[in-house]
Amino acid sequence: MRRKAQKIPALKGEFKLALSDPDKAETIALSLEKQFSLNNLSHSETEEEVNESRNNFSPTINNNYQNDNINSIQTSDVNKIIRKLNIKKACGRDGITNKMIKNIPCTMVFALTEIINNIFNFNYFSNAWKTAVVVPILKPGKDPTIPENYRPIVLLSTLSKITENFILDKLNEHLIGNNFYARNNSASENP
């Protein structure tokens, strides 16, 4: 059962009261931009050290980094991820729900597997899959008229998230296989 979208009341903007939905969206966007903007953490000594380390770093480059060495994704791998999908999770901008994906026929799983393999083969990840919907959620017990009292929930396409699982797996395989993890990096012990 799908929850109804909560109606956001008029918001106290920086200069005016936001009454219309577009004004509310803009007010929340400005609030989030302020809350999540990068701080200037410049530290010249650290920057110098990082630049020196980067300039002195010269990994052994060989031809093993070509896509030819990336094993193809199998349909069974895609099916494993599809089976784990939670049908109660919200969908992304494309409107394709997890329930829809769990019910696709085998021919569509083959097609999705081919798309994922082509992402690796052509080194291209669709911009449409990178686009998210940001939904403001009121923090519990907070005044709904204050924009800073909303936290963002980002909804990505499930197809994108499925693909990102494989990208992460392949990246970890590559980093481990080529000893790119630092010795003190916990990811090298349990990626």
- Is the per-residue pLDDT at 61 higher than 60? no
In single-letter form, the type of residue at position 107 comes to: T
Contact 143, 149 (CB under 8 A): yes
Taking all residues of the chain, what is their mean pLDDT, rounded to a whole number? 84
- Reference 173, options 155, 162, 188, 158; nearest CA is 188
Angle at 75 between CA 88 and CA 70, to 5 degrees: 115
Which of residues 46 and 170 earns the better pLDDT score?
Answer: 170
Q: Of 157, 164, 69, which Cα lies nearest the Cα of 119?
A: 164
Please tell me which residue, 58 or 96, carries the higher pLDDT value.
96
Furthest C-alpha separation in the chain: 60
